Amino acid sequence: MADGPVAEVLLQRLEAADGGLDSAELAAELGVEHQTVVGAVKSLQALGEIIEAELRSTKRWELTTEGEEIAREGSHEARVFRSVPPEGLPQSELMRLPSGKVGFSKAMSNKWIRVDKSAADGPRVFRVVDSVEDEVQRRLQLVQGGQAEKLGEKERSELRKRKLLTEVNLKTYWVSKGSAFSTSISKQETELSPEMISSGSWRDRPFKPYNFSAHGVLPDSGHLHPLLKVRTQFRQIFLEMGFTEMPTDSYIESSFWNFDALFQPQQHPARDQHDTFFLRDPAQAQQLPMDYVHRVKRTHSQGGYGSQGYKYNWKLDEARKNLLRTHTTSASARALYRLAQKKPFTAAKYFSIDRVFRNETLDATHLAEFHQIEGVVADHGLTLGHLMGVLREFFTKLGITQLRFKPTYNPYTEPSMEVFSYHQGLKKWVEVGNSGIFRPEMLLPMGLPENVSVIAWGLSLERSQVSSPSSATSSANRQLMMLEGKSGPYFSSLDSSIDILKKRAQELIENINESRQKDHALMTNFRDSLRIKVSDLTEKLEERMYQIYNHHNKIIQEKLQEFTQKMAKISHLETELKEVCHSVETMYKDLCGQPEATTLEEEQTHKDSEC
């Protein structure tokens, strides 16, 4: 019980006391273990502001077991002295006494006894003085009486050396009245139970306050990958803007669709083994739309559609080479080619978000595969101003409003513009995407009408996490670090400059410090609540235990009574039966002739054993 007898007494004493009381003193006064008082203090503490307890630690001298024995029965040397009668004692006999060995040498050095080695039956011990003063016993009795301070430092340390005294650290509580002090405390309920609701007993019961600064228990849950959450957001934005998703479900692409169709010349560095993953098997694309291929070949090698072309020897074998697509623009090219085959032309808005591959060695700023986001609008009379307008809407939806555009060069767009946004955190303009109007040399061979323009833009999903303030999903809870544990590079392709790194390091340190502080607070909190919980729990358990004991005792008592009654009955019945048997036996003996007697007897024994 939280307000067990000790706690109750404690409260009563506290009410009477002036200021407060010491737990150890109380224990001594009540004649109970100090630990019992401490338990009462803790359980009272758990009830709120009833008492205040301040932990004090005092040093105290205590007797060892041997010390207690000496305080009771005298020192070994005194006992030896007392056991020597005036006429002396053989030394061998003395040595057999319990205190013999230790007591003999001490008594000798105290010059209380002497040994006469010339005695007839071996060495004999005699008293030297008539009476002795047992100083050791007196001192130990002083300590036992709590007056250890009356002894000098030297005396104490001597006793300690003889292992008769030890110094113990005593942790006690100085208990004083709390702001909500009361001697009448009733047991507080921890939780509402169905029984309380049905019986209505909750109305009369006090409830223990919650510790609201404690942390909750995290729910058991699955999570979506943070990067793919951002992918979902981007899909949503495109869908809101009326863009249709292109099929991008082929990682393998021919060089033709990946490069040639985009008017990217065959000697372009991107087509180098160093930058692109080519395939060994299947090494070549077997089917290409040959009509279209010829138009592409002519545009590259000789020009046409108003273009000078690149004037080089275009090779079909080079176009057949299979690779892992280096951009999703290959899928856009296929989509636009399909669009071009539909007559009459209908305007289209397309988007895709999917994986692309580059032949890189993994490090902090390079990934061999990442996600590309691409948007495409095909319509009559689209302008650079339209491209910028669409980009503004797109980035506004991402929470990026400050945009500017830089001329750049892309092999398959002209004009081309890089999109920069002002990064509030980095205090500088960072590139967030690339865009442009597809070259006529790419569109016209597909069969798109001459006055149709196609504007397009692309960005990296991984990079957008860094640059976009809103899309950076702060999934604070325990996210598994995916991508074979290398999540770092997946999100940090932007940060190359040392400044940014320094800033990040600083932020990291701050984060660490902050979380350490949190940890500390958490641990303190945890310790406190654990302490309360544990003392609560043990009390409850104890209470329950005693209840069960009582209950069991009762049952045992009852059963035992029943048992003895039964046993008495059985023995009674047994004697009765024996008597019956006996009379039956005599009856038969009397009634029947001798010859049958044996069989009857046999039968009788059987019956006996059956009884």
Partner 1 sequence: MPTVSLKRDLLFRALGRTYTDEEFDELCFEFGLELDEITSEKEIISKEQGNEKAQGASDVVLYKIDVPANRYDLLCLEGLVRGLRVFKERIKAPMYKRVIPNGEIQKLIITEETAKIRPYAVVAVLRNIKFTKDRYESFIELQEKLHQNICRKRALVAIGTHDLDTLSGPFTYTAKKPSDIKFKPLNKTKEYTACELMNIYKTDNHLKHYLHIIENKPLYPVIYDSNGVVLSMPPVINGHHSKITVNTRNIFIECTGTDFTKAKIVLDIIVTTFSEYCENQFTVEAAEVVFPNGKLHTFPELAYRKEMVRADLINKKVGIRETPENLAKLLTRMCLKSEVIGDGNQIEIEIPPTRADIIHACDIIEDAAIAYGYNNIQMTLPKTYTIANQFPLNKLTELLRHDMAAAGFTEALTFALCSQEDIADKLGLDISATKAVLISNPKTAEFQVARTTLLPGLLKTIAANRKMPLPLKLFEISDIVIKDSSRDVGARNYRHLCAVYYNKNPGFEIIHGLLDRIMQLLDVPPGEKKGGYVIRASEGPAFFPGRCAEIFARGQSIGKLGVLHPDVITKFELTMPCSCVEINIEPFL
Looking at residues 289 to 318 of the shown chain, list those that interact with partner 1 (rule: CB under 8 A). Answer: 303, 305-312
Residue whose C-alpha is closest to residue 233's, from 433, 469, 420, 477 = 469
Smallest gap from Cβ 211 to partner 1, in A, equals: 24
Q: Which stretch binds partner 1 (CB under 8 A): 50-58, 108-116, 208-216, 376-384?
A: 376-384
Structure-block tokens of residue 485: 């544990």
User: Least distance (Å) from partner 1 to the CB of residue 523?
Assistant: 19
* DSSP-derived pairing of the beta strands 369-380 and 403-407: unpaired
Which of 1, 17, 252, 472 is close enough to bind partner 1 by CB under 8 A?
A: 252
Structure-block tokens of residue 527: 């310790």
User: Helix or strand or coil: residue 283?
Assistant: coil
DSSP letter for each residue of 169-193: EEEEEEEEE-TT--S--PPPBSS--
Distance of CA 597 to the CA centre of its chain: 87
β strands within 51-189, DSSP E? 51-63, 89-90, 113-116, 124-127, 165-177
Q: Which of 362, 508, 523, 548 binds partner 1 (CB under 8 A)?
A: 362
Among 132, 417, 454, 456, the residue binding partner 1 under the rule CB under 8 A is 417
Contacts for 337 with CB less than 8 Å, ≥ 6 apart: 261, 289, 292, 446, 447
- Using alpha carbons, list the distances in angstroms from residue 537 to 472, 517, 529: 45, 29, 12
Considering the complex, state which of residue 31 and residue 306 has its C-beta at the smaller distance from partner 1.
306
Rounded CA gap, 608 and 585, in Å?
A: 11
Cα distances from 496 to residues 207, 243, 342, 432, 493, in angstroms, run: 58, 34, 46, 15, 8
Within 13 A of 373's CA, how many CA atoms are on the CB side? 25
The only residue of 267, 515, 564, 565 in contact with partner 1, by rule CB under 8 A: 267
Residue 183 binds to partner 1 (criterion: CB under 8 A): no
222 binds partner 1 (CB under 8 A): yes
Bridge partners (DSSP) of residue 21 are 175
Q: Identify which of residues 202 and 526 has a Cβ nearer to partner 1 in the complex.
A: 526
Region of 48-56, 103-111, 189-197, 274-282 interacting with partner 1 (CB under 8 A) = 274-282
Distance CA 133, CA 142 (A): 15
What number of CA atoms fall less than 13 Å from residue 159's CA on the CB side? 32
Q: Which is nearer to partner 1, 46 or 356 (CB)?
A: 356
Taking CB under 8 A as the rule, does residue 513 contact partner 1?
A: no
Smallest distance, Å, CB 428 to partner 1?
Answer: 10
Segment 483-512, which members bind partner 1 (CB under 8 A)? Answer: 483-486
Q: How far is the CB of 506 from partner 1 (least distance, A)?
A: 21
Parallel, antiparallel, or unpaired: how do β-strands 348-357 and 413-423 relate? unpaired
Shortest CB 357 distance to partner 1, Å:
7
Q: Contact between 481 and partner 1 (CB under 8 A)?
A: yes
Least distance between partner 1 and beta carbon 425 (Å): 20
- x-marked contacts with partner 1 along 591-610 as a string, rule CB under 8 A: --------------------
Segment near partner 1 (CB under 8 A), from 7-15, 123-131, 284-292, 520-528? 284-292
Does the footprint of partner 1 cover residue 60 (CB under 8 A)?
Answer: no
- Taking CB under 8 A as the criterion, the residue among 156, 392, 503, 540 binding partner 1 is 392
Binding-residue pattern over the window 439 to 478 for partner 1, x denoting contact by CB under 8 A: xxx-----------x-x----------------------x
